[in-house]
A and B are shown apart, each in its own frame.
Chain A
């Protein structure tokens, strides 16, 4: 199971990095999205995959009978998902503003704009 996920993570990283190196601002943002999926899945997989059910205690019980899935990576990823959304949104707004100010969405041209 882990092998499959590891390969998926690798592909997500490769795709994300490749898109971030393109010249269009939007591709950059989409690449960022792929990369954050990859990172979240990486934490999730590295935390260990357990098929013992969700870390939620059943009604009326006081302790877990069998060890459930690890709750800590889940807590980390939950906030990471929300934050990466905010980052994507912020990047989007930043690029929108850049585009409107300098009139290009070509990342390479931005260097020329400095001069």
Chain B
């Protein structure tokens, strides 16, 4: 039992990934119960996490680790503390409901298994991010979430919009991931450890390090791209191309929160500085307001929700940026509240679209309350929680939030504006589609049980959490806040705070929001124009950059890859000559002739013979003369080998020369004589290029003579050839014993070349032009 305890975290993670991989097969065997079978993976996680609440609540973190690559200091380390617990519970809990929801949403869809695979793999990656305690492990899982979300957004890969949205999300988040990696590496370097739990205890070393600002900015870019912060927010609404279960999961409650999680996790290490507060609060506030205002102009259900998600993420970053005890508590509470209401609304939105045959605009929806009473109930509960109406958990969170901003009147104003927008959106999604008259031609019915379960649990959950907000605050929010703040604090959440200034502000927000909703038509027009303006910003920059890259790629491919062999050789050769030449110049040119041995007459004669033969080979207009000259070069090589103590090479070279002549003679039966001459201009250019290669290579050889290896590996071979390998011919011993694996590779290459040649000549297509 104790042994199992030690490994439980990564076993549960592994189960998620195994479930993901097996999803298509499970779906093939039991298509109707795929979800029911696969939900066991997240459920196991939920049960385990719930069982750990008391322990973690008391301040004990659970750590499990084992070595992975010892020499790199890489270990698989997991750690469950208050912050991880809060996020992991949200991820696996909503994950379980989403898996069931998928079962209903994709009922009868042939690709359901594939979707399940993606979404469960995504869940596993996300759990990995929040549970990992080693920086590099965090990064690996982080990238996995980008990758799996790419697959999810592009699930309908036959739609060009879906493909583009997937690519956009991928490029933005992966680009951010690169920045993040740089930041994490610098941070690990500054802290001298790769374990997150140790890094967060060395905050001072990092904030006072000379690289601190670079680390902060790099990590922030990584987190901001993932969490759709301004100016990287644009990919999130576009990602609504994903099937609803994916949106409900990735874009409301989990993936986008990875950035927020990371910032929260690193707050003890990077926070408590002016830079931190400045960057996070500014960007967070901009994103919060921008998302809220842009949401007003939307009429498509999922986009409405997407923009408010952007806004909510901005709010979390803002609260984190201020970094006081109170804002951190508020942020932890808001994360919980947001997960509940936003997932509910997404699921209901998907249900509406699903059951009305694809209707997505709230302006064309209405009167669904009779057809979909349960969805209506859930949506209303969630919508009210979102708006911050009592007695829902959204209200409780909003109260602590306002309390925390007591010293920042400007931010309170921002909160009122944003809050009013939330009320409007809450009504628009939780009230508008269900009330009034049903437009003609609209048919709808209630969603199946699997799709009802999620909204019911989460919608009612918002109410239940509020009722039990005291214990919830103590058990879940407080440990998370302590992990972020890295100091002791206490969380007391109240459903009824008593009448004070913040309560009044809260009520005022609700009233403004409700009035705005009633006057929605005007707002939509105005905000629509505004959001159109803003849309031209980063999204357009992204498009321009992407097009630019593609154009550049097309241009240089056209220039460099012409399909004419001569051009390829020219490019390769000229590049090599320039690079090597530059290296020569940088290293101070060629130096030292003193190591050279004296020139003997016979070598000089052979050298002259070889040079003349080469010229003859190049210059000859006749095939036979060319080949014979080439043969002369080869035989001279063989003789040179004998001069310098290489009888094996000499023998081999001699036989090979003979065989080459035979082979060429055989082939010449079938090939024509030289017929095609180049223009003079081409020849001149080629001659210049060839001569430059020759010069560079000559210099290279002479320079190589000065490279001294401290202990040449050959000495070992010379010493051990007879002693250990029973052979007097060291060359042969190297080939068949010391480096036998290389030789094995080489004879394999020979075999492949022969089989390739055989296939080319013997296996002919039956018909001309057939593939």
Contacts and interface: CB of A to CB of B under 8 A. Distances in A.
B597 A1 contact: yes
Given A19-B618, A93-B761, A10 B686 contact: no
B689 interface: yes
A66 to B, nearest CB: 11
A113 to B, nearest CB: 10
B598 interface: yes
A42 to B, nearest CB: 6
B65 to A, nearest CB: 44
A53 B646 CA distance: 8
Interface string A1-35: 11111111111111101111111111111100110
B701 A55 contact: no
B423 to A, nearest CB: 64
Contact of A92 (B637, B664, B677, B714): B664
Interface string A51-91: 11111111100111001111110110111011101111110
Interface in B666-715: 667-668, 670-672, 674-678, 686-687, 689-691, 693-695, 697-698, 700-702, 704-705, 712-714
B630 A33 contact: yes
A22 B675 CA distance: 11
A21 B569 contact: yes
A7 to B, nearest CB: 6
B565 A55 contact: no
B562 interface: yes
A114 B614 contact: no
Given A15-B617, A53-B645, A25 B633 contact: no
Nearest to A90: B753
Given A4-B599, A54-B646, A107-B564, A11 B667 contact: no
Interface in B641-676: 641, 643-649, 652-653, 656, 659-660, 663-664, 667-668, 670-672, 674-676
B743 interface: yes
Contact of B730 (A71, A106, A114): A71
A111 B565 CA distance: 9
Contacts of A75: 731, 734-735, 739
B697 A64 contact: no
A7 B335 CA distance: 73
Nearest to B682: A21
Contacts of B644: 44, 49-51, 69
B171 to A, nearest CB: 32
Contacts of B705: 2, 45-46, 48
Q: How many of chain A's residues touch chain B, expressed as a range?
A: 35 or more
Given A78-B731, A85-B659, A2 B597 contact: yes
Given A41-B637, A93-B761, A23 B701 contact: no
Given A2-B705, A33-B630, A83-B749, A68 B678 contact: no
Contact of A83 (B607, B615, B746): B746
A6 B677 CA distance: 31
A11 B694 contact: yes
B607 A7 contact: yes
B729 interface: yes
B693 A13 contact: yes
A1 B713 CA distance: 24
A72 B733 CA distance: 10
Interface stretch (B87-95, B489-497, B718-726): B718-726
A107 B596 contact: no
B652 A12 contact: no
A34 B614 contact: yes
B718 A64 contact: yes
Contacts of A57: 721-722, 728-730
A105 B675 contact: yes
B645 A93 contact: no
B614 A12 contact: yes
Contacts of A105: 671-672, 675-676
A107 B644 CA distance: 39
B444 interface: no
Contact of B671 (A26, A63, A78): A26
Contacts of B645: 50-55, 68-69
A63 B686 CA distance: 51
A72 B718 CA distance: 10
B409 interface: no
A35 B611 CA distance: 13
B651 to A, nearest CB: 9
A96 B611 CA distance: 30
B749 A11 contact: no
Given A9-B697, A55-B645, A99-B671, A14 B731 contact: no
Given A2-B705, A49-B644, A71 B743 contact: no
Contacts of B672: 99, 105
A30 B671 CA distance: 14
B245 interface: no
B634 interface: yes
B757 interface: yes
A24 B750 contact: no
A75 to B, nearest CB: 4
Nearest to A108: B564
Contacts of B653: 81
Given A7-B607, A57-B721, A99-B671, A17 B749 contact: no
Nearest to A71: B730
Contact of B697 (A4, A42, A81): A42
Given A9-B697, A90-B757, A44 B646 contact: yes
Nearest to B598: A1
A56 B712 contact: no
A63 B647 CA distance: 20
A22 B570 CA distance: 12
B563 interface: yes
B627 interface: yes
Given A5-B607, A27-B626, A17 B693 contact: yes
Contacts of A58: 728
B542 interface: no
Contacts of A37: 633-634, 637
Contact of A18 (B686, B714, B735): B686
B735 A81 contact: no
A81 B654 CA distance: 10
B370 interface: no
Q: Please provide the 5 A-B residue pairs with the shortest distance between their CB atoms, ordered closest to farther.
A: A14-B694, A69-B645, A10-B698, A10-B694, A18-B690
9 contacts: A1-B599, A2-B701, A5-B603, A23-B677, A54-B648, A69-B646, A82-B750, A87-B753, A88-B663
Given A7-B607, A26-B671, A52-B645, 19 more contacts: A1-B599, A10-B695, A14-B693, A15-B617, A21-B690, A22-B676, A49-B644, A53-B645, A55-B729, A63-B719, A69-B646, A71-B717, A72-B734, A74-B648, A83-B753, A85-B659, A85-B660, A86-B753, A89-B754
